[in-house]
A and B are shown apart, each in its own frame.
Chain A
């Protein structure tokens, strides 16, 4: 008896490629409650002096610090996981949306079965992410394959062009 491996819908980026793409955005600070799926990218970023990687206790704090840095003239971003978005919805509403602060969220799809689309994944933390962003009117861009790395910049520019939040969603663990 043989088994046929399910084909991946989302494939892995190299952590270094993602980290370099982040640096090329010109971001000054990466504020993070770390995501398991993005750890290889975090490792690369943390080894550099720029951008400055800042670990925080909660995503709420991250959105506040992001706003303070933005007001002071910097170009920060957040790196979190899907569960982290759910944890900070009030702050996303109050600061990123109502106070009109560019808030770029790089979100890892922690817990995703990469052989299924996000919508088909049984875990709520995965399949509720995009609907949650849509509910709050947050534009998002998927990075489900190395060829889609250009969506990182599209998402970044969406935040800065709208003075509000935007998200890039990394669909598979970085390697």
Chain B
């Protein structure tokens, strides 16, 4: 599926969940109008989206937290799969945009692409459920019930290569930290 299709579907089914984005999912999520409230973008700390979201999920267990991660980002802190599973947050939904490339730096191939299996890794780490969706239609059908089930749930989204120039949301992370802290306190 196209990245924008996945973004639009996650926005459609978000239903008030706290969102954490990173890398090339961040700007489309921003342009889709999803960053005004209950949102944090991991910028300048590649690989940290899953951990930031884990802290949020543990700290605010009454709220659902969705992570829009990248495959290169996850590889950078792959051990976070184990740490997430060890905490077993029921409100944690980990979506990984998997195109097999370092998209931000010019679509260089990821190490090991085609040999590793993210859902299998997440399952072995101990996620409650792991899934992979290759089409927008299948994702659209799955999301409503998926986001009602107990996490942590891992979802690989098979995304087509995008050769457009990289885009950035351009909002300082410190500003988003302050805003999200305010949102969660009210």
Using a CB–CB distance below 8 Å, which chain A residues touch chain B? 54-58, 60-74, 76, 90-91, 93-95, 98-101
Contacts and interface: CB of A to CB of B under 8 A. Distances in A.
Interface size class for chain B? 35 or more
B173 A72 contact: no
Contacts of B53: 68
Contacts of B83: 56-57, 61, 65
A68 B77 contact: no
Interface in B66-100: 77, 79-80, 82-83, 86-87
26 contacts: A54-B87, A56-B83, A58-B77, A61-B80, A62-B51, A64-B48, A64-B51, A64-B54, A67-B52, A67-B55, A68-B53, A68-B54, A68-B58, A68-B59, A69-B56, A71-B55, A72-B55, A72-B60, A72-B181, A76-B55, A94-B44, A94-B48, A95-B45, A98-B44, A99-B173, A100-B174
A172 B89 CA distance: 36
A72 B79 contact: no
Contact of A90 (B45, B79, B172): B45
Interface of B: 40, 42-60, 77, 79-80, 82-83, 86-87, 172-174, 176-178, 180-181, 184-185
